[in-house]
Amino acid sequence: MNSPSVSSKRNDRVNACPTGLNPRRMPDHIAVIMDGNGRWAKAKGLPRIMGHRAGVEALKRTLRLCNDWGIGTLTVYAFSTENWGRPGDEVNFLMALFERVLQKELDSLQQEQVRIKFLGDLDLLPPGLQQSIGEATELTSANKGIHFNVCTNYGGRRELVVAAQRLAARSLKGELDPALIDENVFSGELFTAGEVDPDLLIRTSGERRISNFLLWQLAYSEIHITDVLWPDFDATALREAISDYQSRSRRFGALDPIDSDYSDNS
Ligand code: FPP
């Protein structure tokens, strides 16, 4: 049976769903690789950092739309473990931007009941940013609205290695029988523990790569790639992505009953 919060979320979704989308087939969890900030800025003759500033506006827009449309979880790729290889000025700008935006938007996140979490190796982030992350995570932890996960200094392979290390340590201490490690136990050690896997992955700017993002969690996600550059991502682009998702037949490796020779016609 559905808990009251799940069914009321479904009702909200039926009310809020934009025309043209099926309210009963909305994704519960959307993951986004926000790509194309630099190209957006270059096309306008602006410095790359202006692309990141505009990217923040696209992110605020997308979070609000997902919340309004009853999406349960939005997980975005803000900074990868590989992004440290960018020029120092750009990395410093991004770190300062994350901290500033987090502080500036905290009140509205709270008002809109957003539960924010940062996923990744947070210990390596600048101390001021770590502090803002700690405060925002704590303040919003009991919120009942959308789960908003910001992957920061995140790498999918690193996440899997750390999960394996944790399980090995528990086994060595005698707390865990290695034979009992199954997919549930394993996913409980990931940054996304307790979250449903993404139904839909959106990647902007036309690139066709996973780029070390949520390697475990994306196993059965539908992938939507759009040429729209991240700063231009808006309600139309999100509607198109969800409409594409709704057109897919999700079989999770099995057969569609209608296509199956084994279907029971009796
Ligand atoms: C990719 O575009 C974008 C990033 C590496 C940064 C994304 C960050 C934001 C949108 C800001 C998020 C803010 C908060 C508070 C979480 P790119 O620079 O790789 O663009 P390019 O491929 O065109 O060069």
With a CB cutoff of 8 Å and minimum separation 6, the contacts of 34 are: 55, 58, 59, 76, 77, 78, 204, 230, 233
Q: Are 130 and 158 in contact (CB under 8 A)?
A: no
C-alpha of residue 55 to centroid of ligand 1, in Å: 6
Helix (H) / strand (E) containing 172: helix 156-172
- Kindly tell me the burial class for residue 242, based on how many C-beta atoms sit within 10 Å of its own C-beta (0-12, 13-18, 19 or more): buried
Protein residue whose Cα sits closest to atom 6 of ligand 1: 78
Cite the active site residues.
35, 83
Mutation pick for ligand 1 pocket among 44, 49, 52, 80 (CB with most ligand atoms within 8 Å) = 52
Please tell me which residue, 222 or 266, carries the higher pLDDT value.
222
Per-residue pLDDT, averaged over 252-263, amounts to 60
C-alpha of residue 248 to centroid of ligand 1, in Å: 28
Q: How far is CA 145 from CA 109, 116, 229, 241, in A?
A: 10, 10, 27, 22
Which tokens is 172 given? 């060595």
Which domains does the chain show, CATH number per domain? 33-246 (3.40.1180.10)
Q: List beta partners, residue 74.
A: 30, 148
Report whether residue 36 contacts ligand 1, using a CB cutoff of 6 Å.
Answer: yes
**pLDDT (0 to 100) of residue 9:** 54
Please tell me which residue, 166 or 266, carries the higher pLDDT value.
166
Residue range 23-69, pLDDT digits in tens: 999 999 999 999 999 999 999 999 999 999 999 999 999 999 999 99
Report whether residue 59 contacts ligand 1, using a CB cutoff of 6 Å.
Answer: yes
Q: How many helices (H) and strands (E) does the chain have?
A: 8, 6
Report whether residue 69 contacts ligand 1, using a CB cutoff of 6 Å.
Answer: no
Residue 229 alpha carbon, nearest atom of ligand 1:
23
Helices 48-68 and 235-246, interaxial angle, to 10°? 60
Distance from C-alpha of 246 to C-alpha of 24, rounded to nearest angstrom: 10
**pLDDT (0 to 100) of residue 257:** 57
Residue 168 has pLDDT above 90, yes or no: yes
Protein residue whose Cα sits closest to atom 10 of ligand 1: 55
C-alpha of residue 230 to centroid of ligand 1, in Å: 8
Q: Determine if the pTM surpasses 0.85.
A: yes
Residue 3 has pLDDT above 90, yes or no: no
Which tokens is 191 given? 């940054």
DSSP 61-87: HHHHHHHHTT-SEEEEEEEEGGGGGS-
**pLDDT (0 to 100) of residue 262:** 46
Residue 148 has pLDDT above 50, yes or no: yes
Report whether residue 190 contacts ligand 1, using a CB cutoff of 6 Å.
Answer: no
Report whether residue 67 contacts ligand 1, using a CB cutoff of 6 Å.
Answer: no
Protein residue whose Cα sits closest to atom 15 of ligand 1: 98
C-alpha of residue 98 to centroid of ligand 1, in Å: 11
Residue range 170-215, pLDDT digits in tens: 999 999 999 999 999 999 999 999 999 999 999 999 999 999 999 9
- Kindly tell me the burial class for residue 153, based on how many C-beta atoms sit within 10 Å of its own C-beta (0-12, 13-18, 19 or more): buried
Helix (H) / strand (E) containing 60: helix 48-68
Report whether residue 38 contacts ligand 1, using a CB cutoff of 6 Å.
Answer: yes
Residue 76 has pLDDT above 50, yes or no: yes
Report whether residue 150 contacts ligand 1, using a CB cutoff of 6 Å.
Answer: yes
182: number of Cβ within 10 Å: 8
Mutation pick for ligand 1 pocket among 32, 33, 34, 209 (CB with most ligand atoms within 8 Å) = 34
C-alpha of residue 92 to centroid of ligand 1, in Å: 13
Residue with tokens 């990931």: 190
* CA angle, residues 205, 211, 217, in degrees to nearest 5: 110
Per-residue pLDDT, averaged over 8-18, amounts to 61
